[in-house]
Each structure stands twice: as structure tokens, then as C-alpha cells.
Amino acid sequence: MSRLAPRHFVAVALAILLPFGALHAAGIRGWTSIVSLTFPEHVPHDVALFGGGLYIVLWAGVVLVVPVFLIAALIWVGVERLRA
Amino acid sequence: MRVVSAKRKSPGWMAPLTLLLAMLIWLPSFHLFFWSDPQATAVALANRQVQLWTQPERRQGAIADMRRSNAEWDFMGRSYVAWALAQRALDHEIPTSDALNVIDSILEETLKIEEAEGFRFFLLPYAHRAPYLQQPDRSLFVDSEIALIIALRRQVADDRPDLKAIFQSRVAGMVERMSQAPVLHSESYPNECWMFDNATAAAAITWSDRLDGTDHQAFIKQWLERTKAHLVDAETGMLISSYQLDGKVLDGPEGSSIWMAIHALLWVDPDFAKQQYALARKELGRNILGFGFAREWPVSYRGPQDIDSGIVIPFLDASPSSSALAILAAARVGDQDFLEALVSSLNLGAFPMRDADGGIRYAASNQVGDAVLLYGLSQGKH
């Protein structure tokens, strides 16, 4: 735990943001996958299935995890500056 | 500028403490990033829906997608757009002529299809499995929504004697069939009645009294008495959603039915509708960290997940259909806090997609879902 630093928090945020940004840029949006899994007769295609599912997981990360880790990194840097 | 030394060792509690502090800051406030003005969203939704109805090739694509899943959605998509545009015209949110153009084209095409293909064209396939118990075969689902479209359209402009005649004929037909039914509720499918449709029919009948001077007060009074006596769930006090012609329960209270019924009952018996809203809000409405959603079923009753409920999100039991229709009910009764919380959830989880020409649709939705949202968000002035 003591080896952790603010940069690791930023790395976690980037690890979520980058693949999410790639899916978003590719035009893939969520939910299609959930609809497809429950009503398989309406499955559009496998790429949407996989991409949509991943998009939703990453979207949850973007709104819940990324801001928390970035805010935590900022607080950490601020505290370290005060301690220095 | 002083730089924090990378080699300086932080105390072990720093990581969990900063994460905890960050969570305490972020979680209660992140709903604010998903707030949007319901009226601005309604304008964008209306732009998109009007484009669909003025560009037949785009509309056909949207309708074909829905009919692959559910023919009812094709029909309901028409109703909700027409109701919404009538409401927006009444509120002077769009020019009357623009609203009437779209409403009339919806009515013309829908009535033409009904005449050519039969009303079952707009029903799920099981409508063909058996004759209706009440003869001749008719569906209150189709009759009630067409009647309500014309009722709202006539409030915008009562300049079409042909539509007036269709309205009066549908109302007379509905009253006749409902009057002959054991609990005064008529079938949408063979031996299957829905509160959604019967409440809509009661609203259209009420509008008939206001628009044409008919007198159905005695019938409506009796209808309300039978409804309260036979079609209320004993556990929750909420209206049940589906039942046989004799009133035997098929499905208990459901979000995808109750919110729409409340919206319609506000025209019929506002006090009863508000009482039902309070119950539904308590049993189905949820608000977590500023995000609102509605369950499909109360805790005491769990029905089947189906095409009406949509995909029910595990653990939360949040239903997209129930949540979208909750927007309609919340807006109609003026429950602004719940309405804004529901809209925040919409922005978070339904993935808004903006068109280049000012329209909006939701990736998690379809044409009928967007039309329901449009109608719900068009209730803001009430």
C-alpha cells in the first residue's frame, strides 16, 4: 500500500478512459448488448454485442471510478504539498 | 514551483483515505453533471419525431425495427407522438399547423392500415389465437388510443367533422362493450383486459362529455366503483395491470401499466389518480444519489420480465419502460424532484444521441420509447 502514489490513481483512470474513448469514437454505444442477450431474436450482430457490453462496463467506470481516482489523486498531491 | 518528490514515501493510510474522501465528494454530486432542462430535451425529441413523420423513408426504417419486436410499439409510437404534439400545440410550444400536419398524417395512415389489415395488425400474434369473448372482435387497446388521439387533436382545432364522427363512433362502441362487461372493463386481447387501455378509454369517454356534450357521468361513476372494488391489489392498494373479462387477475401492479393509467385517470378522477400516484411513487419510485428510476413491480409482487417491462436491471429492479412512463406521471402530477431525478438517469443510462439537425434520440430506446419520453416531457406546464 505504501508504494502507491497519485500517479497510480491517474493510471487507473487512463486505463478506463482510453478503451472507452476508442469504443465511443468507433460509434459503439451501450445497451444494444443487454437487449440482445435478453431477446436473442433481435440480436443485431456479434460486434455490437461484445462492444456494447464492454461499453457499458467502461461507462460505469468512467462515471463512478475515474472521477473518484482523479479527485483522490488531486487530494493526495495537495496533502503531500502541505506535508513537504 | 515545488515538486513533490517521487521518492518521498507516503503513509500507508494515504491511498484509502484519499479514495474515501474522493468518494464522499463525488458520489453525492455526480448526478448534477447529468441534469438537463426537461423542456430543452422535449424540444430536441419533438424535432426528431417530427422529422420521422415528415420523412417517410426514415419513419419506415424506425417502424420496421419496432415491428420486428412488437407490433404494439408501431401503434403506440404513433399515439404518443400525436398526443405529445397536440399537448405542445396547446401549450404553444409548436405552431398549430405543424402539429396538425403530423397528427393528421398519423391518423390518416393508422386508420388506413386498420381498415386494410384489421386492428390485429397492431397487436401481438397471440391476438389471433382465439375469438374475443365480447363479439364482434375489437380491441380496446386500438380503439381507446385512436379515440384519445382525436380527442386531443380536437382540442387543438375542432375543424374536421370526419374525425369528430370517428371519435363519437369509437366512444359509443367502447361504452357499449364496457357497459356489457362484468367489471365494466373490456378486452384488449381475447379474454385479456389491461388497465392501461381501460383507463385510456375512460379518459377518451370523459373527453367526449367535454367536447360533445354527451353525458357519461353515471357510467364513469359506476366504472370507477367497479375498478376500485375489483381491480385493486389488496397488498399495495395499487391498480392491477391485466385481468380476464370477468375480473380474474392475470398480472398484479406493474410500472409499465400504472403510470400510464394514472396519467389517464387524472382526467377522469383526479383525486383517485393522485392517490394511485402516491402509492406507485412509494412502491415503485426510487431515488439513489440523485438518480431516479422506477421498478416494474412492487416488492410484494413480482411478475414476468417481458416485452412490456423491458430489461429489468438486476439488484436495483429498475425497469426502463416503467421509468420512462414514470416521467409521464411525475410530470402530470407536478412531482418535479422525481421528474428531474428520472431525467438525470435518462442522461446517464440511456445514451442520448444528437442529430446534426437538432433532434435527439436515445441509444437505449427506440421510436416508441422516445415518443413516450416526448409526451412525458411535454407535460411540463401542467
Provide the strand spans (E) within chain B: 193-194, 242-243, 249-251, 285-288, 291-294, 352-354, 360-362
Structure pTM?
0.89
**Mean predicted confidence (pLDDT) in A28-53:** 50
A81/B6 CB distance under 8 A? no
Chain B closest CA to A10's CA: distance in Å? 12
Between B237 and A20, the more confident residue is B237
Which residues in chain B have Cβ-Cβ distances shorter than 8 Å to A64? 30
Asked if the Cβ–Cβ distance from B2 to A1 is below 8 Å, we say: no
| CA neighbor of A12 nearest in space, from A58, A69, A74, A72 | A69
| pLDDT tens digits, B282-309 | 999 999 999 999 999 998 877 766 666 6
Strands (DSSP E) found in A9-74? none
Residue B89: predicted pLDDT: 97
- Kindly indicate the confidence band of residue B12, based on its pLDDT and cuts at 50, 70 and 90: confident
pLDDT tens digit string along B202-243?
Answer: 999 999 999 999 999 999 999 999 999 999 999 999 999 999
The torsion angles phi and psi of A10, rounded to 5 degrees, stand at -65, -35
pLDDT at B357: 83
pLDDT, residue B380, reads 66
Name chain A contacts of B12, Cβ cutoff 8 Å: 1-2
Could A63 and B30 be called an inter-chain contact, meaning their C-beta atoms sit closer than 8 Å?
Answer: yes
Rounded CA-CA distance B192/B61 in Å is 31
Alpha carbons B382 and B380: distance in angstroms, whole number: 6
Residue among A42, A73, A77 minimizing CB distance to B69: A42
The closest alpha carbon to B288, from B337, B357, B341, belongs to: B341
Which residue in the set A64, A71, A77 is minimally distant from B4, CB to CB? A77
Could you tell me what percent of chain B has a pLDDT over 70?
A: 95
Please tell me the distance in Å from B24's CA to the nearest CA on chain A.
9
Does A43 score more than 70 pLDDT?
no
Q: Which residue of A has its CA nearest to B30?
A: A63
Question: What's the complex ipTM?
Answer: 0.80
Q: Does B26 touch chain A (CB under 8 A)?
A: yes
pLDDT of B173 higher than 60: yes
Among candidates A34, A72, A80 on the partner chain, residue whose Cβ is nearest the Cβ of B22: A72
Provide the pLDDT confidence category of residue A53 given band limits of 50, 70 and 90. Answer: low
Q: Give the pLDDT confidence score for residue A44 in this predicted structure.
A: 45
Touching check for B314 and chain A: CB below 8 Å? no
Interface contacts (A, B; CB < 8 Å): 76
Q: Do A5 and B351 touch (CB under 8 A)?
A: no
Contact between chains at B23 and A68 (C-beta distance less than 8 A): yes
Provide the 10 A C-beta neighbour count for residue B275: 15
Residue B103: C-alpha distances to residues A38, B44, B366 (Å): 34, 18, 20
Residues in chain A: 84
Confidence of residue B381 (pLDDT cuts 50, 70, 90): low
Query: Testing the interface with B: which of A37, A64, A68 to mutate, by most B Cβ within 10 A?
Result: A68
Q: What is the per-residue pLDDT for B305? A: 66
pLDDT of residue B47 exceeding 60, the answer is yes
Is A33's pLDDT higher than 90? no
